[in-house]
Amino acid sequence: MAIDIGRVAAGLPYPLGATHDGSGVNFAVFSANATRVELCLFDKRGKTEEARLTLPEYTNEVWHGYVNGLRPGQLYGFRVHGPYAPEEGHRFNPNKLLLDPYAKGMKGRLKWSDAHYGYRLGDDEADLSFDERDSAPYMPKCVVTEAPARQRFSFPWRRETRPQVDWANTVVYEAHVRGMTMLHPLVPDKARGTFAGLAHPAVIEHLVKLGVSTIELLPVQASVDDRFLEERGLSNYWGYNTIGFFALRETYLQRGGNIDEFKLMVHKLHEAGIEVILDVVYNHTAEGNHLGPTLSFRGIDNASYYMLADDPRYYFDTTGCGNTINQRHPRVLQMILDSLRYWVQECHVDGFRFDLATSLGRELRDFEPNATFLDAIGQDPTLAKVKLIAEPWDVGDHGFQLGNFPPGWAEWNGQYRDNLRSFWRGDEGYLPAVASAMLGSAGLFDKQGRRPWSSINFVTAHDGFTLADLYAYNDKHNLANGENNEDGHDDNRSWNCGVEGPTDDPEILGLRAQMRRGLLTALFLSQGTPMMLMGDEVGRSQQGNNNAYCQDNEISWLDWESIGERDQAFLDYTAGLIRLRERCPLLRQPDFLHGEPAMADGTKDVTWLRPDGAEMQEDDWSNGYSRSIGLMLAQAASAPYLILLNAHHEPIDYRTTQPEAVMGWTLLADSARGLIEPEAPDVAPGEAVTVPGRGVLLFEGRLG
């Protein structure tokens, strides 16, 4: 293809990115400090650079131009000229092909080469040196896509009804596109590991049977496999290494596939009543620290896109990944918001979980609840309506900000995980923490009109042990990661139940299942928003690896064919818990409970009980040896519920006390035996109930 440079018109500085209008393509890219921007056009295979065109106009710090005759599918990239002065924060190098920050499609994978670096690797001057090699042969290429209006016309959104699940009814299922589908026997080979695989009826049927309302997908945006991982024969399986915020990771598409596969997945999940939340990484990029590669933002305008240290040669890094995105810059903030709106408006996703969200809330150097980004997203008419979940920490100073995000946000509650794990393992002194956690952590979230759903309660997540491994391993086993077992958390609060790793001992296997059921029961009986990890419902193991970020293999994948009778029983019990939560409004209250009178006889909305049936007193809370507790929830004109938790290895008797209107208690769940709504006689008023060791019982009051 030959392009006549004379046909490159001025075009427009908006919208940013590559926009096809039916006749040609407008290109626009922000760079405040560049001196020239060149558009590089490639053949269909992305191998040959067929034209290099200078964008002719510079308006409001945006370089732009219009090329007539270009069509969707055209491959392209940028070369950006400007000062190479790392000591001043500038790292322009036109020898490096750069990805468009607004590219909505990418083709090809990054092939690691020394040419990716703006400086000469091994040079005595390190990043102060300058490398002249062309990186284009080793780079993925950006793809011009159809105009949004044409995409909307071609995809059947008009037949879609979004689930719009109320927060109080939300149950989150954290999953991985490849991990969920690679080993599913009913998913066709070509669809395994892809969005098409996740849209398969058998996969969706599993989610529906389980009863979750919302699937939260680990990052699906375009990302890069770290060079050191590829050299070990591994990959960045989790995907927290983003390089494009508008494009999908190509490996999640079938061969020759496009964005329609993602949209179809969303559409099919919505048809089943399941929301889709994306885990997104806007806190850092794959370009790493000052010694990292030049792939996009660094070469387009390093001083604008990244937060620089007092010495601008280096980065102000609060992410632990080498750099932090400068979300305070108006154009960078615009890019993030444009990206979020794209996924909501064009792809119909229902919300986002923000990785290391504290970094997004840093104003200058410190976290502020009214930081630029947080204010902007809260005021956006599109984004303020979707689910927003913060991972409320980063690795910078004062990075742990649990409970400090503004109204409208939910937050991953890491304290909930740690306190419940410790209590259920039998550690001493955790009663006050567990009581707070089970009522939605009001001490953290009950302010500014926030609700209990603000606490995302979880006991396992992608980062750490699976639920099965939590009670099969005392220690992490991460040797497969190639880091001498030095990576991953050491504070797991786990227990192997007597044997480290796999065993055929039926007593130990039974105890492990009982421990898992008890912890999961406590999770679903807590106020707040429960989140569970993919495969926990069927005993998925990662062989003791608690940091499987680089394991794109059987270590991380859900092995559907190995689900046995015991696992099926566990799945049924978990689904039963979710059904109970759905039909019992008192287990998912919209308001925090503070022990206020709720029934005619003065019974409070929440009452903490001792084994003798009396209400807990101040001295009881300070008894570090106590490992059991009772909780009664009540509301006017509604049946009360009684929750009894016993983390001790021995059974304990609890005497039931109840409101005057209660004629007896009906057993709804018994975690020790794995029973949901069993046929059992009611417990009479004042009768003692034996709570099994390491067991949780749920009763519903029978009103007279």
pLDDT at 23 over 60: yes
Q: Using one digit for the tens of pLDDT, what is the confidence trace for 616-628? A: 999 999 998 899 9
- The total domain count for the chain is 2
Name the region of 455 (left: φ>0; alpha: ψ -120 to 50; beta: rest): beta
Q: Distance between CA atoms of 294 and 643, rounded to whole angstroms?
A: 56
User: Under a CB-based contact definition with an 8 Å cutoff, are residues 542 and 489 in contact?
Assistant: no
What CATH number has the domain bearing residue 127?
A: 2.60.40.10
Question: Going by DSSP bridges, is the β-strand pair 638-646/695-703 parallel, antiparallel, or unpaired?
Answer: antiparallel
Question: Going by DSSP bridges, is the β-strand pair 242-248/221-223 parallel, antiparallel, or unpaired?
Answer: antiparallel
Instruction: Confirm whether 391 is a catalytic residue.
Output: yes
Q: Using one digit for the tens of pLDDT, what is the confidence trace for 492-505? A: 999 999 999 999 99
**Average pLDDT of the segment spanning 66-83:** 97
Domain presence at residue 603: yes
Instruction: Look at residue 704 in the predicted model and tell me its pLDDT.
Output: 79
Q: Using one digit for the tens of pLDDT, what is the confidence trace for 632-676? A: 999 988 899 999 999 999 999 999 877 888 999 999 999 999 999
**Average pLDDT of the segment spanning 148-159:** 64
Q: Using one digit for the tens of pLDDT, what is the confidence trace for 99-126? A: 999 999 999 999 999 999 999 999 999 9
**Who wins on pLDDT, 703 or 647?**
647
Domain presence at residue 642: yes
pLDDT at 152 over 70: no
Domain presence at residue 17: yes
Contacts of 504 (CB under 8 A, 6+ apart): none
Could you say which of 355, 469, 536, 670 is catalytic?
Answer: 355
Domain presence at residue 228: no
**Percentages (nearest 5) of helix, strand, coil residues in the chain:** 30, 25, 50
User: Under a CB-based contact definition with an 8 Å cutoff, are residues 355 and 281 in contact?
Assistant: yes
Domain presence at residue 88: yes
Examine the fold and report which residue of 123, 150, 177 is the final residue of a domain before the chain moves on: 150
pLDDT above 90 covers what percent of the chain?
93
What CATH number has the domain bearing residue 619?
A: 2.60.40.1180
Q: Distance between CA atoms of 695 and 667, rounded to whole angstroms?
A: 13
Domain presence at residue 640: yes
Q: Using one digit for the tens of pLDDT, what is the confidence trace for 319-350? A: 999 999 999 999 999 999 999 999 999 999 99
Examine the fold and report which residue of 150, 177, 194 is the final residue of a domain before the chain moves on: 150
Q: Distance between CA atoms of 283 and 325, rounded to whole angstroms?
A: 5
State the virtual CA torsion across 9, 15, 21, 25 in degrees, nearest 10.
40
Domain presence at residue 498: no
User: Under a CB-based contact definition with an 8 Å cutoff, are residues 529 and 167 in contact?
Assistant: yes
Domain presence at residue 548: no
Q: Using one digit for the tens of pLDDT, what is the confidence trace for 241-281? A: 999 999 999 999 999 889 999 999 999 999 999 999 999 99
Instruction: Look at residue 256 in the predicted model and tell me its pLDDT.
Output: 87
| Parent domain of 134 | 8-150
Examine the fold and report which residue of 88, 121, 150 is the final residue of a domain before the chain moves on: 150
Q: Distance between CA atoms of 85 and 419, rounded to whole angstroms?
A: 49
Q: Distance between CA atoms of 685 and 659, rounded to whole angstroms?
A: 9
Could you say which of 226, 275, 287, 391 is catalytic?
Answer: 391
